[in-house]
Structure 1
């Protein structure tokens, strides 16, 4: 038997082990999303996640040591996945207004389709701990590019970003409580763009652009 034949089963077992470990980690993150959305970041205890995920206590500690560590992992997973999903859909767009408009519409569409996700992100405690820098860098770049091109009118890009973030949080809470109506998302985007100084003609052109379908958050790999 050759050396390659001897090592192949070991490599296969290693791969299967990694896949099983990733499935279990994803299972815990899925459970964390539900628990944090229901109870908030401060209230849950580790037992809550163990019960929701249907795993043993020792299994949980193989992946996370504290609820705070799990919260950070959940925030990073969800925010990075959504921004990556949005960037996948708008990556070919060069117009900063169109990119921002489409991104906001996709974000609000996600909130409408996934109330648990919206409930998680709409909590002030979660917003305060979001890794804004690396995750939302594309949004800041769109604001910067659009301002340079004269498409946006604002005095400070951080203030412009806070305007967008604040409106999105309130809009997510409206989706959760059922205080929305047909066309609500476009109205939210429209008034946000007005606040950024975008011309009415350009706003309506961006809102009339076909909206791509956003892939769902990967709640896959259902069991370990």
Structure 2
């Protein structure tokens, strides 16, 4: 059976159209990240996102109907983005303490070099909606293995998340001292009951290269 002479061009046009739509969607999400970081969840108007993205009003409504819908999409985008990129590096690592130490350092390095992202994520109403199942798992397994020592996992997570929020805000404000990332991770691990020698070993472990670059990472 011979192929239709028009089938391949049609498929190509469809693919190009999808790619164009995805680029526009990511452009809107990138703009939303900056707007939400500046204003929070309640203040922005749709016009704010249109201006930031440099698109027409009709284009915006082709993708999102409300600011609430855009907020949900932005959170989902970040969730599937940087957390997944960290998991790509930690996938073969089974030591829960090393996973925590490495993941926290990568998270803070991201905050240091992507202030719009840090401003967005550092808000308590945003960070609590991100999928931190891998962190909960590492806390549970680390405690079970005797590597971590804390009263309960909720207390441990709140200590970790609260410290990370303040640390990210420090990067945004631009008043962090040298060695801040390592010192913050060390303090978190101390709070989780990790022995000093184990902390030293975990922090001396080479950090992996983030091979799956987050789509939210600004292009140089």
Whether TM-score is above 0.5 comes out as yes
Contact 1:167 1:192 in 2 (8 A): yes
- Aligned with 1:3: secondary structure? coil
Give the Cα–Cα distance (whole angstroms) in 2 for the partners of residues 152 and 182 of structure 1: 27
2:142 counterpart of 1:146: yes
Query: Residue in 1 aligned with 2:22?
Result: 22
The aligned length equals 218
**Is residue 100–residue 142 contact of structure 1 (8 Å, CA) maintained in 2?**
yes
Query: Mapping of 1:39-188 within 5 angstroms?
Result: 39-128=39-128, 130-131=129-130, 135-188=131-184
- Deviation, 1:158, is 2.0
CA deviations 1:60-117 (Å, max 9, x no partner) are: 1111111011111111111221111111112221111110000000000011111111
CA distance in 2 between counterparts of 1:124 and 1:203 reads 27
Give the secondary-structure state (helix, strand or coil) at the position aligned to 1:201.
helix
Cα root mean square deviation, aligned? 1.9
Q: 2:209 aligns with which of 208, 213, 217?
A: 213
CA shift at 1:26, angstroms?
A: 0.5
Q: Which digits, 9 at most, give the CA deviation of each residue in 1:171-217, with x for residues without a partner? A: 00111112211111111111111111111110000001111233653
Deviation at 1:23, TM superposition (A): 0.7
1:181-200 to structure 2, matched below 5 A, reads 181-200=177-196
The two structures have a TM-score, normalised by structure 1, of 0.91
Cα offset, 1:36, TM superposition: 1.0
Contact 1:45 1:67 in 2 (8 A): yes
Matched, 1:32 2:32: yes
Give distance in 1, aligned partners of 2:6 and 2:171. 57
CA shift, 1:56, in A, is 1.0
2: CA distance, partners of 1:56 / 1:161: 42
* RCO higher in structure (CA 8 A, sep ≥6): 1
Contact 1:40 1:125 in 2 (8 A): no
- 1:151 is displaced (CA, Å) by 0.8
Which whole-Å CA distance do the structure 2 matches of 1:218 and 1:114 have between them?
Answer: 12
TM (norm. structure 2) is 0.93
